[in-house]
Structure 1
Amino acid sequence: MRFERIPAVKGASAHVATTAKENEGTRELGTDSSTT
């Protein structure tokens, strides 16, 4: 996979994974960061 060698792709996938984790955490707290 040549895409794995591109830092931008790695950063994007990592950012998506981090955002997904953050969204799960905010849901547990009863708040949604995307609506504010």
Structure 2
Amino acid sequence: MMSSIRNLMMSFRRLLRILDWVMRRLKIRERVVSQR
């Protein structure tokens, strides 16, 4: 049981990291568009 929870947490952190990366990319894109 504990191992499964731990794996779930790890996957959740990985998902959060990817989401954060995507948000950064979107923000950078918005900046580029606004500069134009």
Above 0.5 in TM-score?
A: yes
CA offset at residue 29 of structure 1? 0.5
Q: How many residues align?
A: 26
CA RMSD of aligned residues (A): 1.3
Distance in 2 (CA, whole Å) between partners of 1:17 and 1:24 is 11
Give 1 or 2: higher helix fraction.
Answer: 2
Distance in 1 (CA, whole Å) between partners of 2:3 and 2:11 is 13
- State TM-score, norm by structure 2: 0.66
Could you list the runs of 4 or more consecutive aligned residues of structure 1 that deviate by over 4 angstroms after TM superposition?
A: none
Select the structure of larger CA radius of gyration: 2
Task: Report 1 or 2 for greater relative contact order, CA contacts < 8 Å, sequence distance ≥ 6.
Answer: 1
Give the aligned partner of residue 8 of structure 2: 11
